[in-house]
């Protein structure tokens, strides 16, 4: 007679309490998986890769050590630029203020025009057919080409960088808003019309909430692409601003200045994301339930662990 061993299911059995040694071993994994730790570990890993790259380049090409900047040189330059005057009086603050003014001007125009065109293309097939091809053409054009073209046309004033921000960012706004209109459930519009809801309330309570995720994605794309295009436009066709300053340090053959201002660009973008986009996004989506990402990750981890245990038990039973 064959005896079949019944084992409790993975979902029903109780998990053994881990020992202090197991908790100590699992602690680095838990720390590394937390979002706050991941944000800290990335710059540390980048710093280590930087040092290892310098050591590798020194072994291959010793003369490059005099050109490539070290973290201490870049950090010292950034600190001096932040608290003192390396190039001109308050150069860091004035240059970023000039660039930010241009960026916000182009960003606002791109968002307004892109939202209007995206709504028109999403609601009208004829408008979409008329505007689709040139939208894709602008989307395919690199920001470098717009920067060079605008610097030739407008010279060294504000119009070239601002227009570069607009042309680089507006197609992303158009495409995202159009797709947001297309993805709005038609049943909601039909139900609202059947109850004779006014058109203004339909737009406010149906269309706008459905568009909000796409609008924030469009704003992030427009900001990031516009920021890159602005820096390129100031490098080639500017006489002030953050892009012009990085060009100055490049012409002076000061690599620590180039890398330092590139780091300032990254820090500014991260601060803008943390201080502007994230608070506004949380406020705009406060009506939505929070995404249980941690719960999903834990459930996936438990499922993976139980899956391995079940297969291990099946292997033991087969060997018996």
The one-character DSSP state at 1 is -
Q: H or E stretch including 48?
A: helix 35-60
Tokens coding 59: 């072994």
pLDDT tier at 44, thresholds 50, 70, 90: confident
Least confident interval from 136-145, 200-209, 309-318: 309-318
Question: Which has more confidence, 28 or 190?
Answer: 190
Task: Concatenate the DSSP letters of all residues of 243-267 into one string.
Answer: HHHHHHHHHTT-HHHHHHHHHHHHH
**CATH class assigned to 71-82+92-296:** mainly alpha
pLDDT at 103 over 90: yes
pLDDT tier at 18, thresholds 50, 70, 90: low
Task: Output the pTM of the full model.
Answer: 0.72
pLDDT tier at 296, thresholds 50, 70, 90: very low
Task: Concatenate the DSSP letters of all residues of 159-213 into one string.
Answer: HHHHHHHHHHHHHHHHHHHHHHHHTS-HHHHHHHHHTT--HHHHIIIIIHHHHHH
Summarize the confidence of residues 264-272 as an average pLDDT: 87
Cβ 177 vs Cβ 122: under 8 Å: yes
b vs e for 249-283, b when ≥16 Cβ sit within 10 Å of the residue's Cβ? beeeebbbbbbbbeebbeebeeebeeeeeeeebee
pLDDT in tens, 121-137: 988 889 999 989 998 99
> Can you give the residue ranges of every domain in the chain?
32-67, 71-82+92-296
pLDDT in tens, 146-198: 988 888 888 788 888 999 999 999 999 999 999 988 888 778 777 877 877 78
pLDDT in tens, 147-158: 888 888 887 888
Report the distance separating Cα 90 and Cα 74, nearest Å.
Answer: 18
């Amino acid at each position: 007679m064959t005896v079949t061993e019944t084992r409790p299911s993975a979902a029903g059995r109780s998990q053994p309490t881990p020992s202090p040694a197991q908790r100590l071993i699992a602690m680095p994994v838990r720390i590394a998986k937390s979002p706050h730790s991941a944000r800290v570990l990335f710059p540390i890993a980048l710093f280590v890769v930087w040092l290892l790259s310098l050591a590798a380049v020194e072994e291959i090409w010793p003369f490059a050590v005099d050109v490539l900047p070290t973290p201490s040189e870049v950090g010292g330059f950034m600190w001096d630029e932040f608290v003192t005057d390396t190039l001109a009086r308050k150069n860091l603050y004035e240059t970023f203020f000039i660039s930010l003014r241009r960026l916000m001007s182009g960003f606002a125009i791109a968002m307004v025009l892109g939202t209007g065109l995206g709504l028109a293309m999403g609601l009208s097939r004829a408008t979409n057919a008329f505007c689709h091809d040139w939208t894709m053409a602008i989307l395919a054009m690199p920001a470098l080409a717009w920067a060079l073209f605008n610097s030739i046309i407008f010279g060294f004033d504000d119009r070239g960088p601002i227009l570069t921000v607009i042309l680089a960012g507006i197609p992303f706004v158009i495409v995202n808003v159009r797709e947001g209109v297309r993805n709005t459930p038609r049943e909601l519009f039909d139900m609202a019309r059947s109850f004779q809801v006014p058109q203004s309330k339909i737009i406010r309570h149906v269309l706008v909430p459905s568009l909000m995720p796409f609008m924030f994605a469009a704003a992030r794309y427009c900001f990031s692409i516009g920021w890159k295009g602005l820096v390129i436009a100031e490098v080639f066709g500017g006489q002030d601003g953050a892009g012009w300053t990085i060009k100055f340090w490049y012409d002076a053959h000061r690599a620590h200045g180039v890398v330092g201002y590139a780091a300032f660009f990254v820090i500014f973008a991260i601060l803008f994301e943390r201080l502007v986009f994230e608070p506004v996004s949380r406020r705009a989506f406060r009506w939505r339930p929070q995404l249980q990402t941690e719960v999903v990750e834990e459930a996936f981890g438990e499922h993976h662990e139980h899956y391995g245990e079940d297969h291990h038990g099946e292997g033991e039973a087969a060997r018996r």
